[in-house]
Structure 1
C-alpha cells in the first residue's frame, strides 16, 4: 500500500513541467486544467473542457500544453510499472480502471485506461516498454493486446443469437480462439456479464436486441413456425422440432430443453404455462410458412388424426402438386412434422390415439406387401449393363434406390450422369460402403414415373452415365 497514488506522482511532474516552461508555480485552476487534459482527473479532457475548468479559451490551453509537454518527455513515474503489471494480470479491465486499482492504493478510482495510456505517451514510454506487452483501450475496457479478440465476445454472442437463438461462453470462446491463442473463458464471461443486453439461463445466454424482430433469432422463428400449426406445445416438442431443423441447416449449437424454457419465458413472443408454450398472439401457418408448405399441412389436417402413413401422405402431396424432393425434405427435417411411429408421420403437436396410429401402420404394411418390388439386371447388346426395376412408393418418396450387387460393385463411391433421351437430367451418387444411390428426384420428375411403372437404367460403366427408360410390363420381357 503506497501513500501517494499514480496520479499524485503525475501531478507533481506537471507542476515541475509548468515551472520549467513558465518560470512560476501554476495556479490551482491551471493545475486542474492541465491535469484534466493529461488524464489524472478521469478521462482525458478535451481542450474545450480543460479551458472551461480554468476560465480560458481552448486555444490558450493548447498553447500551454504545447510548452509543458516537451518538459514531460523522458520523465518517469515510479508507480507506472506496477499499474501496468496489474492491468496486464487482470486484463481485460473495465473502465474506469481506477475502480479496481484504487483498492490497493495504486491509483484514484477515477483513472481511465485512456488516461493511463495518455500519461505514458506524454512521458515518452508505453506498456510495452514497461512490461513487454501493449495495452489497448477499446469498447469501455483496457485489454492486453493478445486478448483483444476477447472484446469481440459480445459481437459473436449477437451473431450466435441470430443463428442459434442461444449460445454459451465456451461456444463463443471457440469461435474467437485461434491456433496460436487459446483464450480464457473466464475473461470472456467477465466481458459478457457487463453487457446489459445479454440474458442468462445457467450457462446459456442470448442477446436481447433493441429491434428483435421475428427474423432476428432462429429459435424464435422456429418456435413460431411450429406453434402456427398447433398450439400450445410442450417445450420438449419444440426442442425436437428445432433439432430437426438444425440438422437440415447444419447448425451445431442447440440449447437444451431447460435453457429453451427460460428463453421462452423471457421472450416477448411467447407465454409459458408449466411446460406448455403458446404464442402471445395467434399465428397463421399460411402466412408464416408459405403457400406450398401450407398445402402439405392442409393435407395432414384433413386426415382424421393429423397423421398418415408415408405412402398415403406421398400420394396426397403428389396430387397437391408438391414435388417429391420437397416432400422428402419436410418428412426428414420439417420442424412442424413429427414421426409418430415407423412409417407414420403427422403434424407436431397432434395427439393421435395410439390405437389409430397402429391401425394406420397395419394398413400401410399390407399395402406395401401388395406392391411389386422386382429387380433384375442384364447385359445390353452394346456391352452396357442394365437394371430393370418396379417403381415403388419408397423410390418415389425418397429419391433413393439400390443397384444390384453386379452394378454396385463396379460403381461404388462414384457419380452417374443420368440421361433421358440423351439429355442430362441429374447426377446420382452411389455410396462407397453401402448399396444406396441417391439424387433421383429430378429423374423421377423428368420421366413422370408413377407407382406401378417399370424403370430400366442402362449404365455405361466406363463413361459413368445412366440412360433411363420408363414403361410397363413389356420392359420385363
Structure 2
C-alpha cells in the first residue's frame, strides 16, 4: 500500500488532536472547518469561512482552534520533510504548490505554500528545522530563501524593456545575482515563462505593457526616430542604427537582427512586410526629433546627392547654428545617420549613387590634403613650452588635437586650463596612453578660430595652464 498523502496525514492528526482536547470525535462539519482553517483543503480559511461551515460564531471557532492547535505542538508529520526537500530542490514553485507535488504523489493539487508553512508552524517546526533553509512566500510563488532575488525577475524584465527594448534571462540573472549568490538562470526562465505579458523571440524577451505609449521601450523610440526620417527600412538597418546609439549611451544589451524582427512583427507601432519595417502611422522627424536635429536632417535632405562629406556638413551645420560638438556626436552615434564612405555621411535609409559617394569622398580628401598641417615647438624666454600649429578642419570639427612628442611626454594624463587673455576658456585633457588632447571646442569658439588660422599654445607645466594665441603667418616667424 502506498504512503498516504500529506493532507491525509495532517487530517488524521487533527482528529487525534480534537479527541485529546475534547475527549470525543469531531463531527463531520467540525473536522471540515478545522481542516479548512489549518489548510488541508487548499488555502488557509479565515475564521469567518470556518464558522460558516459549522454554523457558529467566529469566536467559537477561534476557541476550538486554540485547543486543537495546542495538541499539535511537537507532533511529527511523516511526509513534511520530504515535501520541504522537494520544494527547496525545485524552488521557485508556483502556487498552488500542490500542482507540482501532486504529480509526485505527495499531496493534493490544491495544497498552497501558505497552508504548508502554516501546518509546519502549528506543529512547532519550520522548513529551516527540517532541511536547513527557509521557504518564503513571494507573490504567487514559494521560494527557498536564497533564491528570493529570483522573484525580482519580472521587475527587472520591465526595467530592461525600458532601457534596452529587449533582454534575456541571462542578462536578468546577472542583474539580480551577487558574488555570494550567483542564482540559476533556469529559475529565472521558470518565473518569466509564467507571465502572460512577457513576449519571446527565442531566448530574447520583452514586457508588453498596457497603456504605456511608445516611450517605455528604448527600441521602439529608436526605431521611430529612424523611420521618421526615411521609411520603410530593413530590420538590418534599424539594428545598425540602434547599435550606434547603444554605443553612445554605453548600453550593452542589443538583440540580434532575428529577434528584433520578431519584436517589430508583434509591436503595435510597426508593420513588417518581408524584411522591411514601417511605422503603423506616418512619422515626421520634425515632431519626433526636435528642431535642432530636424535642422541637420533638413541640411542632408537638401543635398542633391543625399550625402555630404564631413567638412561640408560641418560648414552647413555651422551656418545653421548647430554647434560643432553636437554634429560631431551625431556623425558618430546618431541612429538616423549612416556612413556611406570614409568621411561621407547621409541619412539612414537613403540610397545615394555609389559613384557620387566616391566622387564626394575624393574631393573631400583632396581638400584636406591641401590644408597646411605644420606643427612645431620651442622654449620661450621665460622657460615655458610653446607649440605652434595650423588650425585644420579636423581640429575644428572634433575639438581634438595632439602635441608634438617633446611636449606630450611632459603632459601625459594631465588636465590643462586653457587661458585666453588671462581668462579660462576651456579645460583640456591629455590621454594616459595615447597622443590625443581633447576638450577644445569651448576654446575654439572663444577664439573664433577658422581653417587656415595659426594657433600657439604656451604651456606652463608647473601651473598646468596653456596660454592661447591666434594669428596668421606671423606666428611662424
Post-superposition shift, 1:189?
A: 0.7
1:331-350 matched pairs, under 5 angstroms: 331-350=331-350
How far, CA to CA, are the matches of 1:426 and 1:194 in structure 2? 55
Q: In the alignment, what sits opposite 2:238?
A: 238
1:248-287 matched pairs, under 5 angstroms: 248-287=248-287
Q: In the alignment, what sits opposite 1:167?
A: 167
Post-superposition shift, 1:140?
A: 0.9
Post-superposition shift, 1:450?
A: 1.5
Q: In the alignment, what sits opposite 1:126?
A: 126
CA distances 1:356-415 after superposition (whole Å, capped 9, x unpaired): 101111211222222222222222221111111121111111110111111112112222
Q: In the alignment, what sits opposite 1:178?
A: 178
How far, CA to CA, are the matches of 1:121 and 1:211 in structure 2? 43
Q: State the TM-score, normalizing by the size of structure 2.
A: 0.97
Does residue 62 of the first structure (1) align with residue 62 of the second (2)? Answer: yes
Q: How many residues align?
A: 477
Post-superposition shift, 1:80?
A: 0.6
SS at the partner of 1:340?
Answer: strand
1:158-237 matched pairs, under 5 angstroms: 158-237=158-237
How far, CA to CA, are the matches of 1:297 and 1:370 in structure 2? 29
Post-superposition shift, 1:149?
A: 1.3
How far, CA to CA, are the matches of 1:62 and 1:468 in structure 2? 88
SS at the partner of 1:264?
Answer: helix
How far, CA to CA, are the matches of 2:98 and 2:7 in structure 1? 10
How far, CA to CA, are the matches of 2:68 and 2:230 in structure 1? 75
Give 5+ residue unaligned stretches, structure 2.
Answer: none
How far, CA to CA, are the matches of 1:470 and 1:115 in structure 2? 82
How far, CA to CA, are the matches of 1:471 and 1:47 in structure 2? 92
Does residue 445 of the first structure (1) align with residue 445 of the second (2)? Answer: yes
> Once structures 1 and 2 are overlaid, which stretch shifts more, 129-138 or 16-25?
16-25
Q: 1:98, 1:111 within 8 Å by CA — same for their partners in 2?
A: yes
Q: In the alignment, what sits opposite 2:8?
A: 8
Give 5+ residue unaligned stretches, structure 1.
Answer: none
> Once structures 1 and 2 are overlaid, which stretch shifts more, 366-375 or 453-462?
366-375
SS at the partner of 2:215?
Answer: coil
Does residue 289 of the first structure (1) align with residue 289 of the second (2)? Answer: yes
> Once structures 1 and 2 are overlaid, which stretch shifts more, 106-115 or 402-411?
402-411
SS at the partner of 2:35?
Answer: helix
How far, CA to CA, are the matches of 1:226 and 1:50 in structure 2? 62
How far, CA to CA, are the matches of 1:466 and 1:32 in structure 2? 89
Runs of 4+ deviating beyond 3 Å: none
